[in-house]
Chains A and B, each alone.
Chain A
C-alpha cells in the first residue's frame, strides 16, 4: 500500500469519526488540529483505523504516536 493510499484511507476514517467531510489529514496533523479529537474520541479513531486497515496497534505504539504521519508509518509496516 502506498503512502498516498494510506492517507486517503485515513482521510475517510477521520471524516467518518469526526463527522466532517472537510477533514484532510497530513503527516504533521495532531489532535491540536481537529476540534473534537480528545482522548475519548482518540480510542474510537484507533478502533476505526484498525478496522479500516485490518490491523491492530499495540499499546506502546498508541502511546508513542506523535502525529498522523507516525500512525501512517506503523500502518505502512503492518499492511
Chain B
C-alpha cells in the first residue's frame, strides 16, 4: 500500500505526480485483479479516470476504462452502443451532477407541477438504470446530487417545493430508495463529499467555464477515492478487523504505571471524552461486524484492568483476540490474524506510537497503518479511510463477531478432546448443500470475491454473472451452509462446474477459512459426485491455479483422490476424478440435509 494514496492524502500533489505515481504503483504489485469500468459522464471526466486508476492500483486492482464522450452518459446508456457492448463492463459509474438536471421548477409553479418535474427527472434516470442493467448486467454506481450553486429562495430554498435545494434533496431520496430496492445499484454520495470538502471551493466556477469540470479539479482525488472505496468493497477488498493498541490509543495514560483508576476515560474531562467517544465509535464498528482485537505492550492483567474500567464503553468481551505481552507488535499482529484464520493484511493496526507504527508497516507492508497523530483525530481518520466501506449489509456481516467468537469456543472445546474426529462429531454439524438459490446469490458473489486462501482457481464473479450461471443448465452449481451447536456459519462454500461432453469442469471451488478442517470440503465433494452422476457426468476435472495466497489448496485435489493429468511451469495443475469407478462417501461427521 502506498501511503501517499491513503487518507489523509495531498490531493494536489497526487494530481501533479499522477504519471510517476502510476509507474511506481505498477511496479509495487506482482499481480493485479483486472476489471473493466465504464464511466458515463455528464461533464468532463478525464482526470477522474486517471486518478481513480491510481487509487484502484493501490488496492491491487487494475482497471481498464471506457469513457463516454463528453456529456454522452444518457445516449450511451439508452441507445444500443456497439463500443460499450463490446467493452462488456464489470462496473458502470454514472458521473452526473446537478449540471445535468434537465428542468427545475420555477417560482410560482404549483406543488403538482413541481412534483411532476421531480418525477420526470427521476424517471429519466431510473429508465437509464433499467436499461443499463438489462444490457450489461453489472453493478451500477450512480452519483447523487451536490447542493445547487445558488439559492434563489435563500434559506427557504429547501422548504418551498420549487426551490432547487428542496428539489435536489427529494431527488436524492428517490435515488437512495432505488438503491435500497436494487442489489446491484450503489450511490456515490456526492452531496456528502462535496459538503465535506467545502461547497464553496468545490463549485469554483473557473473549472466549469474553462474545462467543463463540474467540480474543482483539486478535489478530483477526494471524489475518485470514494469511488475506489465502493469498487474495492464490491471486489471483497475491505479490511475485516482492527488491531488496537491500548495505552494512549483506547484511553489516556499508561495503565501499568498510572493504575486503571487514573486513566483518562469517561465523561468528566475533555481528554476522557475523546477516548470515550472513540471507544463508542469502535463499538459501533463492532456492531457492523468489524472484528476488534488488542495488540498492546502490557501485562495481560493490566490490559484487562483497563478494559474493565467502569466508564469505558468497550469491555473485554467486545474483543476477539486480546494480545497483551512484550513481544514485537508485528508478531502479535500475525498471531491475531492466525487465530482468526485471516491474512494479516485483513487487519488495520491503530497505535498512537509512531515507532510501533513504523515497525509494523516496515515488517508487514501490506497491513494498513493509519497515521494516528492525535487522539481527537482517531474517529475521523478511521471513518474517512474507508477500510470497511459498506456496500451491502448482509446478515452474515452483522453476525460476524458472533461467528468468530463461536469459532474460538470450538477451539477451546477441541482442546478438551483427545481425538479430532470425536471433537468434530461433538460439534453436531449440519450442512445444507444445494444448487444456487436466489436468496444467496449476493452472498455467493461476495464470497467469490473475498476468498483468497481456499480458492482453487481464484475466479471472481459479479452478482450478474452468478445469476446467469444459476439460470444456465450447462452449469452444475452448489453452495454449502454449515451450522453446528455453537451457531450458524452461513454460506461457507461454493462450487461452480461447467458441463461439457460428460465432463464437469470445476471452474470454481472455494471455502471460507472459518470452517477449515471440519470436513465440509468432503461433504461438498460427496454431494458433487452424487449430483454429477445423476446428470450422467463421467468425470470431474479439477484445476489449481497458484496465486500468492492459495498455497493451502495446492494438494487439495490429490488429497481428495483426484489424479493429476497435467501441470505446467507456472505451477498450474489439472486433475481428474473418474465417476465410473466406485466412490466412497468421504464425510463422516456432518449431517447433510437434502433438498426438500
> B-contacting residues of A (Cβ < 8 Å)?
13, 16-19, 39-40, 43-44, 47-48, 51, 58-59, 62-63
Contacts and interface: CB of A to CB of B under 8 A. Distances in A.
B203 to A, nearest CB: 15
B206 interface: yes
B47 interface: yes
A51 B207 contact: no
Interface residues of B, number: 19
A47 B210 contact: no
Interface string B162-182: 000000000000000000000
B213 A13 contact: no
A16 B211 contact: no
A10 B338 CA distance: 52
A47 B19 CA distance: 15
B15 interface: yes
Contacts of B16: 13, 16-17, 44, 47-48, 51
B217 A43 contact: yes
A40 B211 CA distance: 8
B12 interface: yes
B17 A16 contact: yes
B20 interface: yes
Most central of A16, A18, A43, A51 by chain B CB within 10 Å = A43
A51 B12 contact: yes
A40 B43 CA distance: 13
Given A39-B211, A44-B16, A51-B16, 17 more contacts: A16-B17, A16-B20, A19-B20, A43-B47, A43-B207, A43-B210, A43-B211, A44-B18, A44-B217, A47-B217, A48-B12, A48-B15, A51-B12, A51-B218, A59-B206, A62-B206, A62-B210
Q: Which 4 A-B pairs have the closest CB atoms?
A: A19-B19, A48-B16, A40-B46, A51-B12
B209 interface: yes
Interface string B205-227: 01101110100011000000000
A20 B218 CA distance: 22
B68 to A, nearest CB: 15
Contacts of A43: 47, 207, 210-211, 213, 217
> Chain B binding site: helix, strand, loop or mixed by DSSP?
helix
A18 B19 CA distance: 7
Contacts of A59: 206, 209-210
Nearest to B19: A19
B12 to A, nearest CB: 5
Interface in B1-60: 12, 15-20, 23, 44, 46-47
Nearest to B22: A19
Contact of A40 (B12, B47, B218): B47
A43 to B, nearest CB: 5
Contacts of B207: 43
Contact of A47 (B17, B44, B46, B218): B218
Contacts of A18: 19
13 contacts: A16-B17, A17-B16, A17-B19, A40-B46, A44-B217, A48-B12, A48-B15, A48-B16, A59-B206, A59-B209, A62-B206, A62-B210, A63-B210
Contacts of B15: 44, 47-48
Contacts of A16: 16-17, 20
A31 B4 CA distance: 30
A41 B217 CA distance: 11
Nearest to A42: B211
Contacts of B20: 16, 19
A55 to B, nearest CB: 13
Nearest to A45: B16
A48 B20 CA distance: 15
Contacts of A48: 12, 15-16
Nearest to A17: B16
A20 to B, nearest CB: 9
Interface string B339-378: 0000000000000000000000000000000000000000
Interface in B379-413: none
Contacts of A40: 44, 46-47, 211
A63 B209 CA distance: 11
Interface string B183-213: 0000000000000000000000011011101
Contacts of B209: 59
Contacts of A62: 206, 210
A58 B17 CA distance: 24
B450 to A, nearest CB: 36
B211 A44 contact: no
A19 B16 CA distance: 9
A58 B210 CA distance: 11
A72 B590 CA distance: 77
Nearest to A59: B206
Nearest to A40: B46
A40 B47 CA distance: 8
A47 B12 contact: yes
A62 B398 CA distance: 53
A67 B15 CA distance: 22
Nearest to A62: B210
A73 to B, nearest CB: 19
Nearest to A13: B16
